Structure 1
């Protein structure tokens, strides 16, 4: 009985560690944390976003350049499902991404992407990272950014422009990102 409980506990811990990798992926993109982003993927991971097919090591500089082109970005993973089998796991989750960037006329535009991540993760030397990822785009929509209009109307909210790594508001939370 105790052996079965320990096995179930380890599986729960591994599932949680895999979920943490998926959450770290979005957070490190939002804050332009390249080191944290590198810790989401094994260097030899197989990555397929359609416009990019290559290794994890090749992917990180590409995605960081894409993200740095926006003034603000916001990533969320939801509906996360993880199935652990020993030192391997499969996961699927939905992803929502918003990027705020100026268009050709200088107007700040939000572009929302909805899709899903089909991932495989591996645990190597006690650490979980993504070993294979396929991104499937489901939809996208663009519209003018409304934050500046809110401020102009008198509802002054806190908002950030994250234009480079090392923003003063960024707080390491788990020792890796």
Structure 2
């Protein structure tokens, strides 16, 4: 395999930054930042985890409503496989996402631990790399029993 060119290295770093901005947008509930990660005509498929499939505006509205229930989430994106060909690229990146959901008593939380892969088709635009298509792949989803409340001293 020949050494990577400066352009290839730059593209990889820009795509890595894009994936980080996506996670940051979701976790901060900064929906404008989240939306800026996608092309206008992007298709997003979250059905593997019980979500929806649709365009950016439709999925954004669904995410805003859904994520409002979770005061804490932490999307970590790892083990990125990126293949670049000119102005297009594909990426398969693992994610680990713990989230908490408050229960009625206000003291306990239901903890979610979810993992899978983001399978993306990316496009270089005048604004940099953007996601043109995202499909989630399911690996696991676990809930921690809320009755296992940690003791506090």
TM bin (shorter chain): 0.7 to 0.9
Larger radius of gyration: 1
Please name the residue that 1:41 is paired with.
38
Would you say 1:13 and 2:14 are equivalent positions? no
Please name the residue that 1:103 is paired with.
103
Q: Specify the SS of the correspondent of 1:70.
A: coil
Q: Specify the SS of the correspondent of 2:75.
A: strand
- 1:128-175 deviation line (CA, Å, top 9, x unaligned): 110001001111111157xx847x33xxxxxxxxxxxxxxxxxxxxxx
Q: Which runs of 4 or more aligned residues in structure 1 lie more than 4 Å from their structure 2 counterparts after TM superposition?
A: none
Q: Considering only aligned residues, what root-mean-square deviation do their CA atoms show, in Å?
A: 2.2
Please name the residue that 1:71 is paired with.
71
Would you say 1:139 and 2:140 are equivalent positions? yes
- How far apart, CA to CA, are the structure 2 residues paired with 1:129 and 1:61? 19
Please name the residue that 1:118 is paired with.
119
Stretches of structure 2 lacking an aligned partner (at least 5 in a row): none
- How far apart, CA to CA, are the structure 2 residues paired with 1:76 and 1:49? 17
- How far apart, CA to CA, are the structure 2 residues paired with 1:112 and 1:96? 7
- How far apart, CA to CA, are the structure 2 residues paired with 1:69 and 1:116? 23
Please name the residue that 1:57 is paired with.
57
Q: TM-score, normalised by structure 2?
A: 0.86
Number of residue-to-residue matches in the alignment: 146
Q: Specify the SS of the correspondent of 1:129.
A: strand
Please name the residue that 1:158 is paired with.
none
- How far apart, CA to CA, are the structure 2 residues paired with 1:90 and 1:126? 18
Contact 1:120/1:133, CA 8 A, preserved across alignment: yes
Would you say 1:24 and 2:25 are equivalent positions? no
Contact 1:25/1:40, CA 8 A, preserved across alignment: yes
More strand by share: 2
